[in-house]
Chain A
Amino acid sequence: MTKLKFRSTPHLWFALAVFLPIRLWAQFAASGTTTVSVTVGPEAAIQINTTTTTLTAASVFSNYTGTTNFSYKVRTSQTSGAAHIQLEVTTDFSPTGGPSVGTPPTAGDALSYTCSVSSPATSCSGSQTSSTASTTSVATFGAGASSAVAGNSGSVGWTLTNDPTYQTGAYSATVTFTISAT
């Protein structure tokens, strides 16, 4: 039974000192190859195309209506990913005396909306009542969903109660749309 033993000797250190730089220098060659790597993660972005949405009444005491258009880009992960578009009234109507999402002058007054969002989204179903206290759904996406490179389109159709108790004047509120993806 023969055992080979390696010992640290001056000869070994000399060999390392001589040949190690040569090996490093050998990185230079007539060609070289590199690996380009990228990690693609879930992403989502939204762009509101209707900066100001004006709500108008088509006839006497009919509800005020209007449409907000938007574009979105989305990519969800393949296995358990999902994405959501939501909105929230982040600033209630002002000045006071008119419509209000947070404290409507009459029970039943509301700023409601319907959704129309292109595939691969699933638009919100029926009429949704907006809120100043929480987000409400506009669209949802499942795993492995992706939009077009230029983005996909969507819209929210608004309906605001036309309550005779509203004082005359112009009123405005701010609605914030949010998209998120996993």
Chain B
Amino acid sequence: MASKIKVCRIAALLVPIASLAQTSATTTQTLSAQISPIGKVSIPATVSLLSGSTFSAYTGTLLVSQRVRTTSSGSASITVTGSAEFTPAGGPTIASGALSYTCGSATLGTACSGAQTMSTSTQTPVLIVGSSACTGGGGACSSTDPNTVSLSFTLTNSPAYKTGSFSAHLTLVISAT
């Protein structure tokens, strides 16, 4: 009876040891990630245009922030279009070519050159980013995050405009390959 008890105690000690031996086994696991080109843009909800003096044009600036990654053979672009005309009627209109903009220097890519006339029917250029470009982190990527480019708007100040407040919607679209 006494020897049976001894056996049982030994068995109880060996079980944990055997369990520890199993955890030391090695295995490999392959982790893979598909890094795709992507672009995202962020802009303020509103931009106000103001006139500095009597019948001088209304002006304002919009800061466009973007994060982008392009492939070794790809590119990215940002375009803008007048997605909704000025309302109410009687004031300025995008369709008449009254709203134009110039691009400031970009922290990544090449900003548009010269004055661009805003359109409600076609997209006009804001920024082009070349291949193998990426936002943030430094090294092969830009050191700034997010990247930015500014748009300076000019709206003609015609005496024919009715007095009042007018607003239009602009949509910026970014695409990357």
Contact = CB atoms under 8 A, between A and B. Distances in A.
A28 B148 CA distance: 12
A38 B161 CA distance: 11
A96 interface: no
B168 interface: yes
A29 B41 contact: yes
Interface stretch (B6-14, B17-25, B60-68, B105-113): B60-68
A36 B163 contact: no
B159 interface: yes
B43 A34 contact: yes
A147 interface: yes
B163 A41 contact: yes
A111 interface: no
Contacts of A81: 163
B43 A36 contact: no
Contact of A36 (B39, B40, B160, B170): B170
A35 B45 contact: yes
Interface string B47-90: 11110001100101010111100000000000000010010000
A76 B163 contact: yes
B171 A32 contact: yes
Given A28-B146, A33-B171, A36-B153, A146 B160 contact: yes
Chain A residues touching B, range? 20 to 34
Contacts of B39: 30
A39 B60 CA distance: 12
A156 interface: no
Interface in A140-171: 144, 146-149
A42 interface: yes
A92 interface: no
Interface residues of B, number: 49
Interface in A83-106: none
Interface string A34-61: 1111111111110000000000000000
Contacts of B165: 37-40
Nearest to B43: A32
A74 interface: yes
Contacts of B159: 43, 73-75, 146-149
B121 interface: no
A30 B160 contact: no
Interface string B151-167: 00101111111111111
Given A38-B155, A40-B91, A73-B55, A30 B174 contact: yes
Contact of A38 (B40, B55, B167, B175): B167
Given A32-B64, A36-B167, 9 more contacts: A31-B41, A34-B43, A34-B169, A35-B45, A35-B168, A35-B170, A36-B49, A78-B162, A149-B159
Interface of A: 27-45, 73-78, 81, 144, 146-149
The 7 closest A-B pairs by CB, nearest first: A28-B40, A37-B167, A32-B43, A77-B163, A38-B49, A31-B173, A146-B159
